[in-house]
């Protein structure tokens, strides 16, 4: 990750080339094993993923029991934690991590799609082994094969979300993993971190902000009011990128192709103002700005967008966890205490 140059590479390959030519399955293989797979390796890896898609009946019962208003990321946190109870031996080697990883990476899209269908009062759809990871997700969600353009846009979204160095959620996963806890506990920690609106949750807030603006003619007034009220533009700013996020450039192309024209225009006008007035402070458009426009056009409810982010990012979490525990050291940062020491205890009646 090159925050000054605005570049991102996965195992040496530029994100632009991967988004152009690769698939989520291939990128996951690359992140886990360090090299692009041969045809046979990719076939075998994709087959294993497809074979792991089926959700246990008990898990579907859990999804049904969840409160209807619960945020889908919260439900996913519970679902992953529940699955962990079937498979909670500690992970000691990268192979342990990958074995559990393949099962969870394969199941997350089905969990999200099933939750969506339960909430819509629709019958659940069984996974299909002959579809791609992205295609199967949309199929399980909408009950029919998606248009090729949607399948590709979803595949690219998962590729772009798959990995991003030591972001807050990846660190949370590694920190829990470093205790030699189990894989699922580490992923649950990552889900908790990714859910926050300063991290993955910003993808939902960005779309809500476009809806709140509502009209391209209102963008300018809205933007200056936001600045005056010290309100943050969601989908802008990044701790490491001080340039336009390279992933956002690719998402923008798909938002233009698939997104609602009016929402796209609002976003484009707001983007111009962000780049003109905030980029000098290092605040630029980030990964979460354009992606929600694509999901919105597909008819996916806004509160589900962070779960799509997670569907991609779990690949990167798994790769980092496997790498870290192969030469593990307990992560234990220190804090500096500021204040008096050696104070005398005062009995409660005398305080
Ligand atoms: N809109 C307006 N101003 C902003 C924004 C924003 N989105 N982000 C930062 N700034 C301003 C701050 O107000 C501050 O200005 P000041 O120096 O005049 O007080 C300056 O830029 C630095 O801000 P910090 O909060 O110190 O920067 P930090 O690196 O801690 O913040 C963060 C990064 C949390 C992502 C921030 O930019 C933000 O809140 N963005 C909106 C939420 C968002 O889009 N998050 C997704 C990030 S990408 C990801 O995690 C997937």
pLDDT the model gives residue 267: 98
Pocket lined around ligand 1, Cβ cut-off 6 Å: 167, 198-200, 202, 232-239, 278, 281, 283, 286-288
Provide mean pLDDT across the span 119-124: 97
CA distance readout (Å), 278 to 197, 242, 292? 20, 11, 22
Instruction: Tell me the fold of 12-196+305-325.
Output: Citrate Synthase; domain 1 (1.10.580)
Question: Which pLDDT tens digit goes with each residue over 96-108?
Answer: 999 999 999 999 9
Q: What pLDDT band is residue 90 in, cutting at 50, 70 and 90?
A: confident
pLDDT the model gives residue 92: 87
Q: What is the share, in percent, of the chain residues with pLDDT greater than 90?
A: 97
pLDDT the model gives residue 89: 87
Provide mean pLDDT across the span 113-133: 97
pLDDT the model gives residue 40: 98
Query: Quick check: 85 pLDDT over 90?
Result: yes
Q: What pLDDT band is residue 129 in, cutting at 50, 70 and 90?
A: very high
Provide mean pLDDT across the span 51-59: 97
Could you state, in order of their start, the residue ranges of all structural domains in the chain?
12-196+305-325, 202-296
**Residue showing tokens 């798959």:** 162
Q: Is-catalytic flag, 288?
A: yes
**Residue showing tokens 């994709």:** 46
pLDDT top residue among 89 and 340: 340
Instruction: In whole angstroms, give the CA distance from residue 140 to residue 151.
Output: 12
Sign of the Cα pseudo-torsion (233, 234, 236, 238, in order): positive
Q: Is-catalytic flag, 199?
A: no
Q: What pLDDT band is residue 12 in, cutting at 50, 70 and 90?
A: very high
Burial per residue of 255-288, b for 16 or more beta-carbon CB atoms within 10 angstroms, e otherwise: beebbeeebbbbbebbbebbeeebeeeebbbbbb
Question: Which pLDDT tens digit goes with each residue over 165-187?
Answer: 999 999 999 999 999 999 999 99
pLDDT the model gives residue 145: 96
Nearest one of 193, 220, 191 to 72, comparing CA atoms: 191
Q: What pLDDT band is residue 88 in, cutting at 50, 70 and 90?
A: confident
Query: Quick check: 289 pLDDT over 90?
Result: yes
Classify domain 202-296 at the CATH superfamily level: Cytochrome P450-Terp, domain 2 (1.10.230.10)
What is the distance in A from the centroid of ligand 1 to the CA of 156? 26
Instruction: In whole angstroms, give the CA distance from residue 58 to residue 73.
Output: 19
Query: Quick check: 91 pLDDT over 90?
Result: no
Active-site residue (options: 238, 245, 260, 320): 238
Question: For 34-78, where are the E strands, in sequence order?
Answer: none
């Amino acid at each position: 990750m090159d925050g000054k140059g605005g570049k991102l590479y996965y195992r040496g390959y530029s994100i632009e080339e991967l988004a152009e030519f690769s698939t989520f399955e291939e990128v996951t293989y690359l992140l886990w094993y360090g090299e692009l797979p041969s045809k046979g390796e990719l076939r075998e890896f994709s087959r294993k993923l497809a074979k792991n898609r089926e959700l246990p009946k008990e898990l579907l019962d859990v999804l049904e029991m969840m409160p209807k208003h619960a945020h889908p990321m919260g439900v996913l946190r519970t679902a992953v934690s529940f699955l962990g109870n079937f498979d909670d031996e500690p992970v000691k080697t990268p192979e342990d991590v990958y074995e559990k990883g393949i099962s969870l990476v394969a199941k997350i899209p089905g969990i999200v799609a099933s939750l969506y269908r339960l909430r819509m009062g629709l019958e659940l759809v069984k996974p299909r082994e002959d579809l791609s990871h992205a295609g199967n997700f949309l199929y399980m969600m909408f009950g029919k094969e998606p248009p090729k353009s949607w399948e590709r846009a979803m595949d690219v979204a998962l590729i772009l979300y798959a990995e991003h160095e030591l972001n807050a959620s990846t660190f949370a996963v590694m920190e829990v993993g470093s205790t030699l806890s189990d894989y699922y506990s580490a992923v649950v920690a990552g889900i908790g971190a990714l859910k926050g609106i300063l991290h993955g949750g910003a993808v939902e807030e960005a779309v809500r902000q476009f809806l709140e603006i509502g009209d391209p003619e209102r963008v300018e007034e809205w933007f200056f009011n936001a600045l005056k009220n010290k309100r943050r533009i969601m989908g802008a700013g990044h701790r490491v990128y001080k340039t336009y996020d390279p992933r956002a450039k690719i998402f923008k192309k798909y938002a233009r192709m698939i997104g609602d024209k009016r929402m796209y225009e609002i976003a484009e006008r707001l983007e111009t103002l962000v780049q003109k007035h905030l980029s000098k402070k290092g605040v630029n458009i980030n990964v979460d700005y354009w992606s929600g426009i694509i999901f919105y056009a597909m008819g996916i409810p806004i509160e589900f967008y962070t779960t799509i982010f997670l569907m991609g990012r779990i690949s990167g979490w798994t790769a980092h966890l496997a790498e870290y525990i192969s030469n593990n050291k307990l992560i234990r940062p220190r804090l500096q205490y500021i204040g008096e020491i050696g104070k005398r205890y005062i009995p409660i009646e005398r305080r």
